[in-house]
Amino acid sequence: MNYRHAFHAGNHADALKHTVLLALLDALKRKDGPFFVLDTHAGRGRYALSAEASRKTAEAETGIGRLRGQAGLPEALRRYLDAVAAFNPEGGTEVYPGSPLLVANELRENDRLAACELQPEEAAALKSLFAHDPRVAVHARDGYAAVKALLPPRLGATKFARGLVLIDPPYEAQDAEYPLVAAALREGLQRWPNATYAVWYPVKQRRSLQPFLRKVAVLDAKSVLLAELLVRPDDSPLRLNGSGMLLLNPPWQFDRAIAPALPVLQRLLGEAGASTRLEWLRESG
Ligand code: SAM
């Protein structure tokens, strides 16, 4: 069941996640060599926000809806809005592209995407979305197991020296998800050490997050960067107060690409007590 997520598509968490995702893809595209993306928890790929329009509190209106139409946005946010606008030629945001669709739209001829989705209906929607794109492989399977099965990526004789693993689980039982993410990161880093790993995490209560971050900070990555957007203080355990992207082996000086976007997201999407954080948990050196 994934209607809950469809309802949330385009909210503040997606704004952060997808802004960072696009900046990572841009960094990969700066070099000619082909890259590979593994999206472990891909979702259905395309969300029809118009179907949710009758809901009074459509969350996209507190996310991308507040960014759209703003002038003078930093490059990374402009990039995000343009990427979403590409799926909405009539204007507005009727269609919200999920991570696999955003990635697929950036692939060059020899780049590849493997997108995993466990929920059968979502996986079927994703398969039909990419039925005619030979660069995209959809796997109706557990994304954590795919880290073991699909990495390091190969295509015939081609090995991919560069790429990205996006881990974006639902965190339905939040504390139960952290060990799975940490194990997948450890496994992935062993199998494909040079890739960038991007993990999205919700911020409800900070207390439950700290042990996870401490664990990830000592994994065998060259560097670890964290980018967070809290739209309100993180003291209400039942609400999605904000979220973060945890980046292992991010591109060189990636903090500079993303830094200007965070205060603007805070100002446009935040309530009283909103904040951002951009911090190296480990710097390469
Ligand atoms: N990454 C997507 C995006 O940015 O548009 C959103 C993904 S959504 C937060 C999480 C998805 O993971 C849901 O569609 C859910 O059905 C799926 N899922 C849950 N457990 C999974 C697992 N073990 N492996 C793969 N997919 C899973």
Report the C-alpha dihedral over residues 95, 172, 273, 261, rounded to 10 degrees. -40
Angle at 198 between CA 195 and CA 204, to 5 degrees: 160
For residues 95 and 88, is the Cβ–Cβ distance under 8 A? yes
Which residue has better confidence, 283 or 207?
283
Is the CB–ligand 1 distance for residue 42 below 6 Å?
yes
Q: Which of 3, 117, 180 to mutate to test the pocket of ligand 1 (most atoms within 8 A of CB)?
A: 117
Domain boundaries, the chain: 3-282
CB of residue 203 inside a 6 A radius of ligand 1 = no
Residue 5: the pLDDT is 46
Element (H, E) at 24: helix 12-29
Q: Report the atom number in ligand 1 closest to the C-alpha of 14.
A: 4
Q: What confidence score (pLDDT) does residue 199 get?
A: 98
CATH class of 3-282: alpha beta
Angle, vertex CA 112, rays to CA 108 and CA 113, nearest 5? 120
Q: How confident is the model at residue 236 (pLDDT cuts 50, 70, 90)?
A: confident
Q: Is the CB of 2 under 6 A from ligand 1?
A: yes
Q: What mean pLDDT value characterizes the chain?
A: 92
Pair of tokens at residue 64: 């991308």
- The pLDDT tens digits for 251-281 are 999 999 999 999 999 999 999 999 999 999 9
